[in-house]
Amino acid sequence: MNTISTRRSTPRRLGLGLVGGIGALALAACTGTGDAGSGENGSSAASSTVTLVTHDSFNVSEDVLAAFEEESGLTVRQIAPGDGGALVNQLVLTKDSPLGDVVFGIDNSFATRAIDEGVLEPYTPAGLADSAAQYAIGDTGALTPIDFGDVCINIDHAWFGNTGVTEPETLDDLTKPEYKDLLVVTNPATSSPGLSFLLATIGAYGEDGWVDYWAKLKANGVKVVDGWSDAYSVDFSGAEGNGPRPIVLSYATSPAFTVSEDGTSTRTGALLDTCFRQVEYAGVLAGAQNPEGAKKLVDFLVSDAFQADVADSMYMYPANTDIALPESWVEFAPLSPKPFEVAPADITAHRDEWIKAWTSTVIG
Protein backbone atom coordinates (compact mmCIF):
# COMPACT_ATOMS: atom_id res chain seq x y z
CA MET A 1 0.00 0.00 0.00
CA ASN A 2 1.39 3.39 -0.91
CA THR A 3 1.89 6.09 1.67
CA ILE A 4 1.63 9.16 -0.56
CA SER A 5 -1.22 11.48 0.32
CA THR A 6 -4.08 11.20 -2.13
CA ARG A 7 -6.16 14.07 -0.82
CA ARG A 8 -7.20 16.77 -3.26
CA SER A 9 -4.83 19.71 -3.01
CA THR A 10 -6.02 23.08 -1.93
CA PRO A 11 -5.38 25.63 -4.65
CA ARG A 12 -1.72 26.44 -4.07
CA ARG A 13 -0.29 25.92 -1.60
CA LEU A 14 3.18 25.10 -0.29
CA GLY A 15 2.04 24.99 3.16
CA LEU A 16 3.39 25.33 6.61
CA GLY A 17 6.34 27.18 8.07
CA LEU A 18 9.88 26.00 8.62
CA VAL A 19 10.27 22.59 10.21
CA GLY A 20 13.39 22.06 12.32
CA GLY A 21 15.94 19.36 11.63
CA ILE A 22 14.92 17.34 14.66
CA GLY A 23 11.28 17.30 13.54
CA ALA A 24 12.19 16.23 10.04
CA LEU A 25 14.41 13.44 11.27
CA ALA A 26 11.69 12.29 13.63
CA LEU A 27 9.29 12.25 10.70
CA ALA A 28 11.78 10.15 8.74
CA ALA A 29 11.88 7.67 11.59
CA CYS A 30 8.11 7.51 11.77
CA THR A 31 7.83 6.71 8.07
CA GLY A 32 10.35 3.92 8.39
CA THR A 33 13.05 5.39 6.19
CA GLY A 34 15.75 5.58 8.83
CA ASP A 35 16.49 1.81 8.89
CA ALA A 36 15.38 0.73 5.44
CA GLY A 37 18.75 -0.79 4.74
CA SER A 38 19.22 -2.65 8.03
CA GLY A 39 17.90 -5.81 9.57
CA GLU A 40 17.28 -9.26 8.14
CA ASN A 41 15.25 -8.02 5.15
CA GLY A 42 16.90 -4.59 4.91
CA SER A 43 18.35 -5.07 1.42
CA SER A 44 15.04 -6.24 -0.01
CA ALA A 45 13.17 -3.39 1.70
CA ALA A 46 15.61 -0.83 0.35
CA SER A 47 15.24 -2.08 -3.24
CA SER A 48 11.43 -2.26 -3.18
CA THR A 49 10.79 1.07 -1.44
CA VAL A 50 11.62 4.51 -2.79
CA THR A 51 11.30 7.52 -0.50
CA LEU A 52 10.20 10.86 -1.89
CA VAL A 53 11.14 14.00 0.04
CA THR A 54 8.77 16.78 -0.93
CA HIS A 55 6.72 19.75 0.24
CA ASP A 56 3.51 19.51 2.22
CA SER A 57 1.14 19.66 -0.72
CA PHE A 58 2.58 17.15 -3.15
CA ASN A 59 -0.36 15.21 -4.51
CA VAL A 60 -1.03 12.52 -7.08
CA SER A 61 -4.22 10.65 -7.94
CA GLU A 62 -4.45 7.26 -6.27
CA ASP A 63 -4.96 5.32 -9.50
CA VAL A 64 -2.02 7.04 -11.23
CA LEU A 65 0.32 6.21 -8.36
CA ALA A 66 -1.00 2.67 -8.03
CA ALA A 67 -0.32 2.01 -11.71
CA PHE A 68 3.28 3.18 -11.30
CA GLU A 69 3.80 1.05 -8.22
CA GLU A 70 2.38 -2.03 -9.94
CA GLU A 71 4.47 -1.54 -13.07
CA SER A 72 7.71 -0.71 -11.24
CA GLY A 73 7.36 -3.06 -8.27
CA LEU A 74 8.15 -0.14 -5.98
CA THR A 75 6.35 1.21 -2.94
CA VAL A 76 6.52 5.00 -2.71
CA ARG A 77 6.88 6.65 0.70
CA GLN A 78 6.70 10.38 1.33
CA ILE A 79 8.47 12.69 3.77
CA ALA A 80 7.31 16.30 3.81
CA PRO A 81 9.52 18.55 5.95
CA GLY A 82 7.60 21.73 5.07
CA ASP A 83 7.45 24.44 2.45
CA GLY A 84 9.78 24.65 -0.53
CA GLY A 85 12.27 26.78 1.38
CA ALA A 86 12.20 24.47 4.39
CA LEU A 87 12.60 21.53 2.03
CA VAL A 88 15.92 22.78 0.67
CA ASN A 89 17.11 23.72 4.15
CA GLN A 90 16.47 20.16 5.35
CA LEU A 91 18.19 18.61 2.34
CA VAL A 92 21.29 20.66 3.07
CA LEU A 93 21.26 19.90 6.80
CA THR A 94 20.87 16.15 6.19
CA LYS A 95 23.00 15.70 3.05
CA ASP A 96 25.44 13.39 4.85
CA SER A 97 22.52 11.15 5.82
CA PRO A 98 19.79 11.94 3.25
CA LEU A 99 16.14 11.76 4.22
CA GLY A 100 15.21 9.79 1.12
CA ASP A 101 15.96 8.89 -2.49
CA VAL A 102 14.19 11.54 -4.56
CA VAL A 103 13.24 15.15 -4.01
CA PHE A 104 10.32 16.94 -5.62
CA GLY A 105 9.45 20.59 -5.03
CA ILE A 106 12.75 22.46 -5.21
CA ASP A 107 11.84 25.60 -7.15
CA ASN A 108 13.84 28.05 -9.25
CA SER A 109 14.31 30.47 -6.36
CA PHE A 110 16.18 27.85 -4.29
CA ALA A 111 17.46 25.53 -7.04
CA THR A 112 21.01 26.85 -7.26
CA ARG A 113 21.48 26.45 -3.51
CA ALA A 114 20.57 22.77 -3.73
CA ILE A 115 22.94 22.28 -6.67
CA ASP A 116 25.80 24.18 -5.07
CA GLU A 117 25.45 22.27 -1.79
CA GLY A 118 25.86 18.95 -3.61
CA VAL A 119 22.65 17.33 -2.38
CA LEU A 120 21.76 15.97 -5.85
CA GLU A 121 23.07 13.37 -8.28
CA PRO A 122 22.95 14.18 -12.02
CA TYR A 123 20.16 12.32 -13.82
CA THR A 124 18.12 13.25 -16.89
CA PRO A 125 15.09 11.05 -17.57
CA ALA A 126 14.75 9.78 -21.14
CA GLY A 127 11.09 10.81 -21.32
CA LEU A 128 11.64 14.48 -20.54
CA ALA A 129 9.53 16.64 -22.87
CA ASP A 130 11.26 19.11 -25.17
CA SER A 131 9.10 21.90 -23.71
CA ALA A 132 10.79 21.42 -20.32
CA ALA A 133 14.23 22.33 -21.68
CA GLN A 134 13.57 26.08 -21.33
CA TYR A 135 13.42 25.63 -17.54
CA ALA A 136 16.76 23.84 -17.16
CA ILE A 137 19.10 25.34 -14.55
CA GLY A 138 22.82 25.03 -15.13
CA ASP A 139 24.42 22.19 -17.05
CA THR A 140 24.71 19.56 -14.31
CA GLY A 141 21.46 17.74 -15.12
CA ALA A 142 20.79 17.50 -11.41
CA LEU A 143 17.27 18.95 -11.52
CA THR A 144 14.42 17.91 -13.81
CA PRO A 145 11.58 20.42 -14.48
CA ILE A 146 8.24 18.89 -13.52
CA ASP A 147 5.70 21.73 -13.38
CA PHE A 148 5.40 25.51 -13.32
CA GLY A 149 3.02 28.26 -12.34
CA ASP A 150 2.85 31.97 -11.61
CA VAL A 151 3.02 33.26 -8.04
CA CYS A 152 0.69 36.26 -8.04
CA ILE A 153 -1.38 38.44 -5.78
CA ASN A 154 -4.96 37.12 -5.53
CA ILE A 155 -8.07 39.03 -4.55
CA ASP A 156 -11.52 38.17 -3.23
CA HIS A 157 -13.95 39.52 -5.83
CA ALA A 158 -16.90 39.01 -3.49
CA TRP A 159 -15.33 41.14 -0.73
CA PHE A 160 -14.62 44.02 -3.10
CA GLY A 161 -18.06 43.75 -4.66
CA ASN A 162 -19.76 43.87 -1.26
CA THR A 163 -17.71 46.78 0.08
CA GLY A 164 -17.58 48.90 -3.06
CA VAL A 165 -13.79 49.29 -2.83
CA THR A 166 -12.13 49.28 -6.26
CA GLU A 167 -10.08 46.17 -6.87
CA PRO A 168 -6.31 46.68 -7.07
CA GLU A 169 -4.53 45.73 -10.30
CA THR A 170 -0.81 46.41 -9.90
CA LEU A 171 1.98 46.24 -7.36
CA ASP A 172 1.82 50.02 -6.96
CA ASP A 173 -1.87 49.81 -6.07
CA LEU A 174 -1.08 47.71 -3.00
CA THR A 175 0.67 50.67 -1.37
CA LYS A 176 -2.38 52.96 -1.65
CA PRO A 177 -4.37 53.97 1.47
CA GLU A 178 -7.57 52.26 0.33
CA TYR A 179 -5.81 48.88 0.65
CA LYS A 180 -4.36 49.44 4.12
CA ASP A 181 -4.44 46.29 6.28
CA LEU A 182 -5.92 44.21 3.44
CA LEU A 183 -2.86 42.27 2.19
CA VAL A 184 -1.29 39.09 3.59
CA VAL A 185 1.90 37.60 2.14
CA THR A 186 4.40 34.92 3.15
CA ASN A 187 7.92 35.27 4.50
CA PRO A 188 10.61 34.77 1.81
CA ALA A 189 12.92 33.24 4.42
CA THR A 190 10.51 30.36 5.07
CA SER A 191 8.23 30.22 2.03
CA SER A 192 9.06 29.61 -1.62
CA PRO A 193 6.07 31.63 -2.87
CA GLY A 194 7.19 34.35 -0.46
CA LEU A 195 10.63 34.36 -2.03
CA SER A 196 9.07 34.31 -5.51
CA PHE A 197 7.05 37.41 -4.64
CA LEU A 198 10.14 39.13 -3.26
CA LEU A 199 11.81 38.38 -6.60
CA ALA A 200 8.79 39.80 -8.44
CA THR A 201 9.27 43.10 -6.61
CA ILE A 202 13.00 43.08 -7.34
CA GLY A 203 12.24 42.44 -11.00
CA ALA A 204 9.68 45.25 -10.98
CA TYR A 205 11.57 47.95 -9.05
CA GLY A 206 15.22 46.96 -9.43
CA GLU A 207 18.04 47.09 -6.91
CA ASP A 208 17.40 50.76 -6.21
CA GLY A 209 13.67 50.55 -5.59
CA TRP A 210 12.49 47.27 -4.15
CA VAL A 211 13.41 47.99 -0.50
CA ASP A 212 11.51 51.27 -0.63
CA TYR A 213 8.52 49.44 -2.10
CA TRP A 214 8.46 47.00 0.80
CA ALA A 215 8.77 49.85 3.27
CA LYS A 216 5.61 51.28 1.73
CA LEU A 217 3.84 47.92 2.02
CA LYS A 218 4.82 47.71 5.67
CA ALA A 219 3.51 51.20 6.31
CA ASN A 220 0.29 50.14 4.60
CA GLY A 221 -0.28 47.27 7.01
CA VAL A 222 0.92 44.20 5.10
CA LYS A 223 0.72 41.05 7.23
CA VAL A 224 3.49 38.46 6.93
CA VAL A 225 3.02 34.78 7.85
CA ASP A 226 5.43 31.87 7.56
CA GLY A 227 3.61 29.65 5.07
CA TRP A 228 1.11 29.66 2.24
CA SER A 229 -1.59 27.65 4.02
CA ASP A 230 -1.82 30.17 6.87
CA ALA A 231 -2.03 33.06 4.42
CA TYR A 232 -4.60 31.51 2.09
CA SER A 233 -6.70 29.37 4.40
CA VAL A 234 -6.63 31.43 7.60
CA ASP A 235 -6.11 35.12 6.76
CA PHE A 236 -7.60 35.34 3.26
CA SER A 237 -11.33 36.03 3.01
CA GLY A 238 -11.75 34.35 -0.36
CA ALA A 239 -10.78 30.74 0.40
CA GLU A 240 -13.10 29.57 3.16
CA GLY A 241 -14.64 33.03 3.43
CA ASN A 242 -13.59 33.44 7.05
CA GLY A 243 -10.36 35.46 6.92
CA PRO A 244 -10.25 39.25 7.40
CA ARG A 245 -7.96 40.10 4.44
CA PRO A 246 -9.24 40.10 0.84
CA ILE A 247 -5.77 40.29 -0.81
CA VAL A 248 -3.33 37.38 -0.55
CA LEU A 249 -0.18 36.03 -2.12
CA SER A 250 -1.02 32.83 -3.98
CA TYR A 251 -0.97 31.49 -7.55
CA ALA A 252 -2.49 32.37 -10.92
CA THR A 253 -4.16 28.96 -10.84
CA SER A 254 -5.81 29.47 -7.43
CA PRO A 255 -9.00 31.03 -8.89
CA ALA A 256 -9.69 27.73 -10.66
CA PHE A 257 -10.21 26.27 -7.18
CA THR A 258 -12.94 28.75 -6.24
CA VAL A 259 -15.10 28.33 -9.36
CA SER A 260 -18.84 28.29 -8.73
CA GLU A 261 -20.76 25.00 -8.87
CA ASP A 262 -22.19 25.87 -12.29
CA GLY A 263 -18.72 26.68 -13.61
CA THR A 264 -19.58 30.19 -14.80
CA SER A 265 -17.67 32.33 -12.32
CA THR A 266 -15.06 32.30 -9.59
CA ARG A 267 -14.98 34.06 -6.25
CA THR A 268 -11.30 35.00 -6.55
CA GLY A 269 -8.97 36.41 -9.18
CA ALA A 270 -5.23 36.66 -9.80
CA LEU A 271 -3.58 39.99 -10.60
CA LEU A 272 -1.52 38.98 -13.62
CA ASP A 273 0.61 42.13 -13.49
CA THR A 274 2.11 41.09 -10.11
CA CYS A 275 3.56 37.66 -10.93
CA PHE A 276 6.80 35.71 -10.84
CA ARG A 277 7.05 32.36 -12.65
CA GLN A 278 7.87 29.47 -10.34
CA VAL A 279 9.23 26.19 -11.71
CA GLU A 280 9.33 23.04 -9.58
CA TYR A 281 11.99 20.38 -10.04
CA ALA A 282 12.71 16.79 -9.08
CA GLY A 283 16.06 15.10 -8.63
CA VAL A 284 17.87 12.04 -7.32
CA LEU A 285 19.38 12.68 -3.90
CA ALA A 286 23.10 12.10 -3.44
CA GLY A 287 23.64 9.11 -1.17
CA ALA A 288 20.20 7.65 -1.91
CA GLN A 289 19.67 4.15 -0.50
CA ASN A 290 17.75 3.17 -3.64
CA PRO A 291 19.27 5.13 -6.55
CA GLU A 292 17.77 2.87 -9.24
CA GLY A 293 14.32 3.21 -7.71
CA ALA A 294 14.91 6.95 -7.49
CA LYS A 295 15.57 7.14 -11.23
CA LYS A 296 12.38 5.20 -11.93
CA LEU A 297 10.41 7.63 -9.77
CA VAL A 298 11.85 10.66 -11.61
CA ASP A 299 10.96 8.92 -14.89
CA PHE A 300 7.41 8.59 -13.56
CA LEU A 301 7.21 12.31 -12.69
CA VAL A 302 7.89 13.27 -16.33
CA SER A 303 5.64 10.54 -17.76
CA ASP A 304 2.42 11.42 -19.57
CA ALA A 305 0.40 9.77 -16.80
CA PHE A 306 1.80 11.97 -14.04
CA GLN A 307 2.01 15.11 -16.16
CA ALA A 308 -1.67 14.77 -17.07
CA ASP A 309 -2.47 14.57 -13.35
CA VAL A 310 -0.57 17.72 -12.34
CA ALA A 311 -3.24 20.33 -13.09
CA ASP A 312 -6.09 18.67 -11.18
CA SER A 313 -3.95 17.37 -8.33
CA MET A 314 -1.58 20.26 -7.67
CA TYR A 315 -3.00 23.25 -9.58
CA MET A 316 0.22 23.77 -11.52
CA TYR A 317 0.96 23.64 -15.24
CA PRO A 318 2.74 20.46 -16.40
CA ALA A 319 6.23 21.00 -17.83
CA ASN A 320 5.11 18.93 -20.82
CA THR A 321 3.04 21.53 -22.67
CA ASP A 322 1.54 18.90 -24.99
CA ILE A 323 -0.60 17.71 -22.07
CA ALA A 324 -4.23 18.85 -22.23
CA LEU A 325 -5.38 21.22 -19.47
CA PRO A 326 -8.79 21.49 -17.78
CA GLU A 327 -11.18 23.58 -19.84
CA SER A 328 -11.84 25.95 -16.94
CA TRP A 329 -8.18 27.00 -16.87
CA VAL A 330 -8.52 28.97 -20.10
CA GLU A 331 -10.84 31.40 -18.36
CA PHE A 332 -9.98 31.09 -14.68
CA ALA A 333 -6.28 30.10 -14.51
CA PRO A 334 -4.36 31.86 -17.30
CA LEU A 335 -0.64 32.46 -16.96
CA SER A 336 0.71 35.98 -16.75
CA PRO A 337 1.59 37.27 -20.23
CA LYS A 338 4.67 38.99 -18.82
CA PRO A 339 5.78 37.82 -15.36
CA PHE A 340 8.60 39.71 -13.67
CA GLU A 341 12.00 38.09 -14.06
CA VAL A 342 15.27 37.90 -12.16
CA ALA A 343 18.22 36.08 -13.71
CA PRO A 344 19.13 32.79 -11.96
CA ALA A 345 22.72 34.00 -11.61
CA ASP A 346 21.51 37.08 -9.74
CA ILE A 347 19.35 34.95 -7.46
CA THR A 348 22.37 32.80 -6.67
CA ALA A 349 24.59 35.78 -5.97
CA HIS A 350 22.15 37.86 -3.94
CA ARG A 351 19.44 35.61 -2.47
CA ASP A 352 20.74 35.68 1.09
CA GLU A 353 21.45 39.41 1.16
CA TRP A 354 18.05 40.17 -0.35
CA ILE A 355 16.31 38.09 2.31
CA LYS A 356 18.34 39.82 5.05
CA ALA A 357 17.46 43.25 3.63
CA TRP A 358 13.79 42.28 3.39
CA THR A 359 13.81 41.01 6.98
CA SER A 360 15.43 44.20 8.24
CA THR A 361 12.90 46.33 6.37
CA VAL A 362 9.68 44.43 7.02
CA ILE A 363 10.21 42.45 10.22
CA GLY A 364 12.74 44.76 11.87
Q: What is the pLDDT of residues 183-192, one digit of tens each?
A: 999 999 888 8
pLDDT for position 33: 39
Residue spans per domain, the chain: 21-148+278-318, 150-277+328-363
Same fold, 21-148+278-318 and 150-277+328-363: yes
3-state secondary structure of 173: helix
150: nearest Cα among 283, 80, 249: 249
* Amino acid at the residue 231: A
- CA distances in angstroms from 71 to 65, 75, 101, 208, 344, listed in the order given: 10, 11, 19, 54, 37
Q: Does domain 21-148+278-318 have CATH number 3.40.190.10?
A: yes
pTM (two decimals): 0.82
Q: What's the length of the chain? A: 364
pLDDT for position 285: 98
Query: Are 3 and 78 contacting, i.e. CB atoms less than 8 angstroms apart?
Result: yes
DSSP state at residue 131: G
pLDDT for position 56: 78
Q: Each residue of 211-250: b (16+ CB within 10 Å) or e? A: bebbeebeebebbbbbbbbbbbbbbbbbbeeebebbbbbb
Query: Are 33 and 79 contacting, i.e. CB atoms less than 8 angstroms apart?
Result: yes
pLDDT for position 15: 32
CB atoms < 10 A from the CB of 29, how many?
A: 11
pLDDT for position 41: 42
Characterize the bridge pairing of strands 247-251 and 102-107: unpaired
pLDDT for position 145: 97
How many angstroms separate the CA atoms of 64 and 149, rounded? Answer: 22
Which residue ranges of the chain lie beneath pLDDT 50? 1-44
CATH match for 150-277+328-363 among 3.40.50.300, 3.40.190.10, 2.60.40.3950, 3.40.50.1820: 3.40.190.10
